[in-house]
Structure 1
């Protein structure tokens, strides 16, 4: 009945069987950008935010989000991640914070959702920890930058 990979012949949602796929080295990088005020950028640079070390908390939150991705994204396979990293760059000239996540796994399915979750939750954590300074922050962009491995091979954003 269905040509959709996550629907059964009866149209019911199900988790795709990846049991017959071969393990391969997989990597995904994702990006988030948060527009914010000079006051927030200063608090981040000077580590003076009332809630504590925002950048360290963003990294931890992003890593946790990647690890828990299958708990929050329906039908997403749980993965034994080999690496998760979160890089954060303050960009005062453009009044924003750049967040980049990297996830690696040796497995049967891709790690794109983990990378996207990591970047997203790091951005949400920035908002949560700095909303007392300025609630006008905007999470402007979340996107996949790159994925490697698996049947579809290498893909990069333009």
Structure 2
């Protein structure tokens, strides 16, 4: 039996705790460490990621390992869109380079949390836009969290 340790902040969310949850997720994903990211999800977490349906941490780790092997120089920004007691919606953008081509990927996620603060459901829709290297916005040294002085997505298309 796998023990799932609580992951603060816990639901029900306030605006402040939802913002903390979003930033913690962004920082984890920017680490590009699949095992670290997977610890934020329940062992039986259900995902829809683009056109793939996943179930459980092992599948999450496999997907993220393949993703970050393919998507070089990955940098992500997430912004809180809305929240309720145990759900959070975010919009995000990330940039990466695949086979020499830069992309900006736009997306939305809906998250549902268990009482222990782990995410039990994640649904993500993502669109990829090829960009020139000169159009990049996310220029901090990766893998690392987004610097505090780097703006989020407010006012960005």
Larger radius of gyration: 1
TM-score range, shorter chain: 0.3 to 0.5
TM-score (normalised: structure 2):
0.37
Q: Give the helix-richer structure, 1 or 2.
A: 1
TM-score (normalised: structure 1):
0.37
